[in-house]
């Protein structure tokens, strides 16, 4: 019974998020142009808020969820992430994975900025996360507002760039 209630709550949160952001990310409505806009927002509004490790992990999670099939959910484990995302800059070992502690710290950092949200308890396959897009992340909306107040036009307008 509790699983069914949790599933209903999760579905309601998804519907609320879709209505609040105006961006649908499910497989039926995800288009290339929507994905391009989301990528631009990640680069402009989210990435400046992240450390290099945080950004690498976010892009990995984004690629294996939203960019893969339009679904914002994926299940990952810390062991999987320690091997799959980036190499350690401190280790000369052949396998050269980053520490599980660093993976946990990075996941916590992404959760604290609102880039990902834990959606369930861990199991053998890992933990279920929802990868958020910048329009769903309060910190991104604040950063964008601050940036636009200082920098109303793009840094590199296409009319200025000349290709020889």
pLDDT digits (tens, 9 = 90+) for 78-107: 888 887 877 666 656 566 677 888 888 989
pLDDT at residue 139 in the model: 85
Is residue 27 within 8 Å of residue 95, measured between CB atoms?
no
Phi, psi of 126 (to 5 degrees): 125, -160
For domain 2-150, the question of CATH label 1.10.10 is answered with yes
Mean residue pLDDT across the chain: 78
Contact partners, residue 34, CB within 8 Å, separation at least 6: 23, 24, 25
- pLDDT tens digit string along 40-68? 888 888 888 888 888 888 889 999 988 88
Rounded average pLDDT over 138-143: 84
Greater model confidence, 19 or 55: 55
Note the helical H segments in the chain: 2-21, 32-41, 52-63, 66-69, 78-84, 100-113, 138-150
Higher pLDDT, 150 or 144: 144
Whether the predicted pLDDT of 19 surpasses 60: no
What six digits make up the tokens of 32? 């290339």
Of the two residues 70 and 163, the one the predictor is more confident about is 70
- In 10 A of CB 23, how many CB atoms? 17
pLDDT at 151: 66
């Amino acid at each position: 019974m509790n699983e069914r209630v949790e599933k209903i709550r999760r579905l309601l949160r998804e519907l609320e998020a879709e209505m609040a952001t105006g961006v649908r990310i499910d497989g039926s409505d995800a288009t290339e142009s929507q994905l391009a806009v989301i990528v631009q927002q990640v680069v402009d509004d989210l990435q400046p808020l992240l450390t290099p490790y945080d950004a690498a992990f976010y892009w990995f999670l984004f690629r294996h969820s939203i960019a893969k099939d339009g679904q914002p959910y994926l299940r990952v484990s810390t062991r999987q992430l320690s091997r799959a995302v980036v190499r350690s800059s401190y280790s000369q070992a052949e396998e050269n994975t980053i520490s599980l502690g660093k993976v946990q710290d990075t996941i916590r950092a992404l959760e604290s900025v609102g880039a990902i949200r834990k959606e369930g308890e861990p199991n053998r396959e890992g933990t279920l996360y929802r990868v958020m897009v910048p329009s769903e992340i309060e910190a991104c909306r604040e950063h964008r507002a601050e940036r636009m107040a200082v920098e109303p036009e793009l840094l590199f307008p296409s009319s200025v760039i000349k290709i020889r």
